[in-house]
Chains A and B, each alone.
Chain A
Amino acid sequence: MTRAGRVVPVLLALTLPLWLGSPYFLHVVIMAGIFGILALSLNLLLGYTGQLSLGHAAFFGIGAYTSALLTLRLEWSFWLALPGAVAAAGLAGWLIGRLALKLRGAYFVLVTISFAGVIALVSVNWMDVTNGPLGLPGVPAPALGPWSLRAKSVYYYLVLVAVLLAYLVCRRLVASRIGRAFVALRENEALAESVGVDVTHYLVLAAVVSAAMAGMAGSLYAHYTRFVSPEVFLFSYTVTMVIMVVAGGKGTLAGPLVGALIFTALPEVLRAVTSWQWQMLAYGVLLVLLVFFLPRGIVPALAAWRARNAP
């Protein structure tokens, strides 16, 4: 990529609120950013260690609830609540990692689904803490000293920083020895073990980082929408994450981000061009078509196309 090719997108991203115009578009971009972090986190497990977690919404929800409760009930500052949410989610990830370390494939998937199911039910029934189905309205927006970060254009920068952070963490991890161990695990676990890769240690590590990242996304979500209810545990959120990762291109770093952008924008685009009866039907059909024509995902397909057309 040329110098300009790298600088221009960065400049565009940094100045986005200025030229994007409509706050509605900004809203879509912010949501895309939050889901981008989620997709990156899921990609760590799915794309790099090869383990599919279908309970990732649980970590997202734990992060959201923890952050909301810490700021609402204990009146912590957002800047303390965010690490709190990350820690809580990371802890949950550690639990899953350790519990499920014997399981692979379909069995791991099912434990994650069941875990998410139990957490969802707890959030609905534990009225004293989570307020059950009534949810937690009025979650405060973060403040930096005397300035509130409530405004969308400002919150955008917060999310942008978080996305960059998540991306960098993933990149460092993947490029390091740990990352190579992940890939070794994914490709051939028995072989990896035989050359001394401590399988359980790395899987648990992946689970913790992945969950912690999802928790961060949850906290950002809670303070943006300022309302948390058990619906964050909806399976549809997990499904959306999976779509973003796999359609974007699992096992790549840019894939989940591209997937997040496209699949956050897609329902909104459909909202604008079709009437409500056809929106979700079109979404499903488009998804099938996308997978059919680009089975490896968008980013790998683009890379392959570029490689073919390289001079």
Chain B
Amino acid sequence: MVTRWIVLVALVLAAIATTPGPAQSQAPIKIGVIEPLSGPVAASGNYVRMGAEIARDWLNARGGVNGRKIDLVIEDNKSDPKEAASAAEKLIVRDRVPAIMGAWGSSMTLAAMPKLEEYGVPMVVETSSAASITKRGNPWIFRISPPSEMEALGLEQYVDKLGVKRADFLAVNTDWGRGAISAFGDMLKRRGAVVGAAEFMDQAATDMNAQLTKIKGTGGDTLFLTTAVEQITLVMKQAQEQRLARKIITTGGSSSPTQLVKQAGAAAEGSYHIVFFMPWFPEAMPDGKLARMFVDEWSKRGHPFEGLTEGFRGHDGIATLAEAIRVAGKDEPKAIRDALWKVSLVGVNGPIKFEKDGPAGKESGQSKPSIFVVQIKDGKVALPW
């Protein structure tokens, strides 16, 4: 009886005490990944993960970085900021990762940020759009996704071509949606357009008819839509039912036009979408060959095509970190951070190079990603002009 207890306790202690052995030169380089793999945005988190895995496999096939293989340690933040912070802590302390990519949602990223400063570990932000992320004076943050202001700037050149004179907004009631409304609203006003109604929908809402009725009454010519692809589908279907005849422009890059064509059908016809990757025209991307290879590898793995508009972020995030590790020559957090300021590479989205953003002395890094506009025409995704 006693022996049984001793054995049990010993086993438990052994399990707890098992920590990774000292890093040898041939031991793999670990990169932490924090994404929402369960909960309401599980689809997006998983697409990013899939993209990250492709990057890892390509890197390892080419011999790894500095002669060592790349190992991704993947954690689920369950779409909850508290979990994102716990995951970051576990990755840094237990798994001893020298760098992380994450955490998809802006509030999840914001929650993990204090941990980065506490332990001195850099993180590449691949999706979050809140401006505050790079303005908070956290020198361990490097973002490759555009904040809403940058997105709005990217669209500015097309405002006249699109003929936007009077715009309304319908956005999901999160930091992302609100940020988009404010950024695009400011940009439109600068161009002399009129901003009409700004309506919100709850993240889990499925019925937006009331908001659409209000929007219908403003007499605008354009509706800016900022939310996840599932809600976009619902909004389009309901807009069609209500016979809301106006231009729809989706922002944020997560709108997956392919999925919209499949699920919203005719309701999506004529709509425009701001995307950061055009898997339908990979050759039109800044590095056409890389983009084409990515699209082919993705479909070879049987991943759904509609996930490409988000999956590339995972690839570019890992590629950026790998390049930084190569430049740094070692997988040590501070060295990687310093190296991130020096990297200049071309990802699936385009050139990646970080510029200073935020309060002096504690700047975060912000890259300037390429922004594209596509349109759904005749049930297919097309370049609008």
The answer to whether A and B touch directly, with their CB atoms under 8 angstroms apart, is: yes
Interface residues on A, range: 20 to 34
Indicate if A17 sits at the interface (CB-CB under 8 A). no
| Centre residue among B80, B85, B114, B173 by max chain A CB count within 10 A | B114
Interface of A is mostly: helix
Cα–Cα distance between A133 and B177 once the two chains are bound (Å): 9
Cα–Cα distance between A125 and B173 once the two chains are bound (Å): 8
- The answer to whether A23 touches B93 (Cβ under 8 A) is yes
- The answer to whether B173 touches A24 (Cβ under 8 A) is no
- The answer to whether B82 touches A231 (Cβ under 8 A) is yes
- The answer to whether B93 touches A231 (Cβ under 8 A) is no
- How near does chain B come to A163, taking the closest CB pair, in angstroms? 19
Indicate if B175 sits at the interface (CB-CB under 8 A). yes
Contacts of B178 in A (CB 8 A): 127, 132-134
Cα–Cα distance between A22 and B106 once the two chains are bound (Å): 28
Among the 9-residue stretches B71-79, B160-168, B260-268, B314-322, the one with 4 or more Cβ atoms under 8 Å from chain A is: B71-79
Indicate if A135 sits at the interface (CB-CB under 8 A). yes
Indicate if B189 sits at the interface (CB-CB under 8 A). no
Known: A137-B136, A227-B114, A236-B80. A22 touches B94 (CB 8 A): yes
Contacts of A225 in B (CB 8 A): 81-82, 85, 111, 114
- How near does chain A come to B92, taking the closest CB pair, in angstroms? 8
Closest to B117 in A: A226
- The answer to whether A271 touches B90 (Cβ under 8 A) is yes
Number of interface residues of B (CB under 8 A): 33
- The answer to whether B107 touches A135 (Cβ under 8 A) is yes
- The answer to whether A27 touches B107 (Cβ under 8 A) is no
- The answer to whether B89 touches A23 (Cβ under 8 A) is yes
| Centre residue among B92, B93, B130, B200 by max chain A CB count within 10 A | B93
Indicate if B66 sits at the interface (CB-CB under 8 A). no
- How near does chain B come to A240, taking the closest CB pair, in angstroms? 10
Among the 9-residue stretches A86-94, A166-174, A274-282, the one with 4 or more Cβ atoms under 8 Å from chain B is: A274-282
Q: Which of B39-98 contact A (CB under 8 A)?
A: 74-76, 78, 80-82, 85-87, 89-90, 92-94
Closest to B17 in A: A21
Contacts of B173 in A (CB 8 A): 124-125, 132-133
Contacts of A227 in B (CB 8 A): 81, 85, 107, 110-111, 113-114
Interface of B is mostly: helix
- The answer to whether B136 touches A138 (Cβ under 8 A) is yes
- How near does chain B come to A72, taking the closest CB pair, in angstroms? 13
Q: Which of B37, B111, B132, B174 contacts A277 (CB 8 A)?
A: B37
The 0/1 profile, CB within 8 Å of B marked 1, for residues 259-278 of chain A is 00000000010011001110
- The answer to whether B110 touches A137 (Cβ under 8 A) is yes
Indicate if A31 sits at the interface (CB-CB under 8 A). yes
- The answer to whether B94 touches A280 (Cβ under 8 A) is no
Closest to B78 in A: A280
Known: A137-B110, A231-B81. A132 touches B175 (CB 8 A): yes
Indicate if B367 sits at the interface (CB-CB under 8 A). no
Contacts of A272 in B (CB 8 A): 90, 94
Indicate if B209 sits at the interface (CB-CB under 8 A). no
Indicate if A234 sits at the interface (CB-CB under 8 A). yes
| Centre residue among B82, B87, B106 by max chain A CB count within 10 A | B82
Indicate if A49 sits at the interface (CB-CB under 8 A). no
Contacts of B211 in A (CB 8 A): none
- How near does chain B come to A243, taking the closest CB pair, in angstroms? 15
The 0/1 profile, CB within 8 Å of A marked 1, for residues 98-128 of chain B is 0000000011001101100000000000000
Query: Taking beta carbons and an 8 Å cutoff, which residues of B are in contact with A?
Result: 37-38, 74-76, 78, 80-82, 85-87, 89-90, 92-94, 106-107, 110-111, 113-114, 130, 132, 136, 173-175, 177-179, 200
Q: List 28 A-B contacts (CB under 8 A).
A: A24-B89, A24-B92, A27-B89, A28-B86, A124-B173, A125-B173, A127-B178, A132-B175, A132-B178, A133-B173, A133-B174, A133-B175, A133-B178, A134-B132, A135-B110, A138-B136, A225-B81, A225-B82, A227-B113, A227-B114, A231-B80, A271-B76, A271-B90, A275-B74, A276-B38, A276-B75, A276-B76, A277-B37
Known A-B contacts: A24-B94, A135-B81. Give 17 more (CB < 8 A): A24-B89, A24-B93, A124-B173, A127-B178, A132-B178, A133-B178, A134-B178, A134-B179, A135-B107, A137-B113, A138-B136, A231-B81, A271-B75, A272-B94, A275-B74, A276-B37, A276-B74
